[in-house]
Amino acid sequence: MKALFKPEPGAGLQLVDRPDPIAGPDEVTIRVLRTGICGTDLHILRWDDWAASAVSTPLIPGHEFFGEVVEVGPLVHDVQIGDLVSGEGHIVCGMCRNCRAGRRQMCIRTEGLGVQRDGAFAEYLTLPGANVWVHHSSIDPEVGAIFDPLGNAVHTALAFPLVGEDVLVTGCGPIGLMAIAVARHVGARFIVGTDVSPARLELARSMGADYTVDVSTSPISDAQVALGMREGFDIGFEMSGAPTALPQMIENMTHGGRIAMLGLASGPFSIDWGKVVTHMLTLKGIYGREMFETWNAMGAMLQSSSVLRDAIASVISERFPARDWQRGFEAAAAGGTGKVILDWTQL
């Protein structure tokens, strides 16, 4: 098969021939149709400090995908040849305390698809049957390819009850944009998005944000004034990882406000812990997706709402044949407004 391959530690990837993967008895083989390019993939391409510390080579990277099942192991249940699928890229041990308690997203021995084992930037991949998500209703292949980051958005957005609440979203990259759409679908009252990119802020408004703030020129408090808010935001989604984002969010939360944090900071930063305590704020870290409640929520929401389906599809901004993977990675690295898709039927 053709695959993007990193043979050894160091920068770069190669589109080469690799042996077809062999599925174990509890695994399935999937013919990859579409993949999304993630920030993790860019780290692996560049081979930065994080990649050097976390990634095992030789490796086929990639973890955002949509494909068709072509082989099913004898121990796999509820997955059939011909099923159109995406997959949970966190492969867990099943034996640690969290796994046994049904908190598999907190497994202490998680192995990452496309990070510690061969992933989806290839014509075929293998995945444990328990990690396969079968799309039981019609779905656009490109939307299927971004179920992984959509799951990040849904996990963050559903961390706290949203109906009737005022929501602040700091960081309007693709996942932040999808979180805005989900919050609007679920029933938030006011939604405010912040970023430093005018194009992303425009997209945030199209996804359902009532007001946006360019934090390079204006304070978030302007949004509260414009919307007639009296007491601050009830819910915060910190999606950016920017050092200034969480401190600014805390300044704009109501007493008892709740913050879900998905963005990974590049370094330490200070926050007003006195305010966290005296305002009785809740900060909750979010990683990956809940297995598999987030997946059930994603499927149900997209199946029931054409408005939400269209909003999520609009996050995809560029598409490239897999043979032009370098152009795709360049587009993703340029930090544009949306997700970049590779089409693995075009090699």
Q: Say what the pLDDT of residue 268 is.
A: 87
pLDDT at 331 (0 to 100): 95
110 & 159 share domain: no
**Using CA atoms, how far apart are residues 69 and 91, in angstroms rounded to an integer?**
18
Residues 20 and 130 both lie in one domain = yes
Do 251 and 322 sit in the same domain of this protein? no
Is 43 within the bounds of a domain? yes
- Is 136 marked active-site? no
Q: Are residues 167 and 254 in the same domain?
A: yes
Amino acid (1-letter code) at residue 273 = W
**Percent of the chain having pLDDT more than 70?**
100
Kindly give the residue spans of alpha helices, DSSP state H, lying in 158-235. Answer: 174-186, 198-207, 221-227
Residue at a domain's end among 236, 264, 285: 285
Task: Please state, in angstroms and rounded to a whole number, the distance separating the CA atoms of residues 305 and 118.
Answer: 34
User: Mind giving me the DSSP string for 34-69?
Assistant: EEE--HHHHHHHHT-HHHHHH--SSB----EEEEEE
Pairing mode of beta strands 64-72, 27-36:
antiparallel
- Look up tokens 């049904």; give the residue: 102
- Alpha carbon of residue 124 to chain centroid: 22
- Of 43, 90, 135, 155, which one is the catalytic site residue? 43
Q: Do 231 and 181 belong to one domain? A: yes
SS3 314: coil
Are residue 235 and residue 337 in the same domain, yes or no? Answer: no
Q: Which pLDDT score is estimated for 137?
A: 81
Nearest Cα residue to 146 out of 43, 65, 262: 65
SS3 percent helix, strand, coil of the chain, rounded to 5, is 35, 25, 40
What's the pLDDT score for residue 335?
A: 79
pLDDT in the model for residue 265: 86
26 plus 138 within the same structural domain: yes
In a domain, 293, yes or no: no
Longest dimension (CA), the chain: 62
**Residue 9 structural domain:** 2-146+315-343
Q: Is residue 294 part of a domain?
A: no
Q: Catalogue the E-assigned strands of the chain.
A: 2-5, 14-17, 27-36, 64-72, 84-87, 90-91, 111-112, 124-128, 132-134, 167-170, 191-195, 211-214, 233-238, 253-261, 282-285, 316-321, 339-343
- CB count in 10 Å sphere of residue 74: 7
Residues of the chain with pLDDT under 70: none
Of 40, 156, 212, 337, the active-site residue reads: 40
* Helices and strands per DSSP (H, E), number in the chain: 13, 17
Burial of 156 (0-12, 13-18, 19+ CB in 10 A): buried
Q: Write down the H helix ranges in 208-270.
A: 221-227, 245-251
Q: What is the pLDDT of residue 337?
A: 76
Question: Annotated catalytic, 126?
Answer: no
- Please tell me the distance from the alpha carbon of residue 23 to that of residue 334, in angstroms, as a whole number: 36
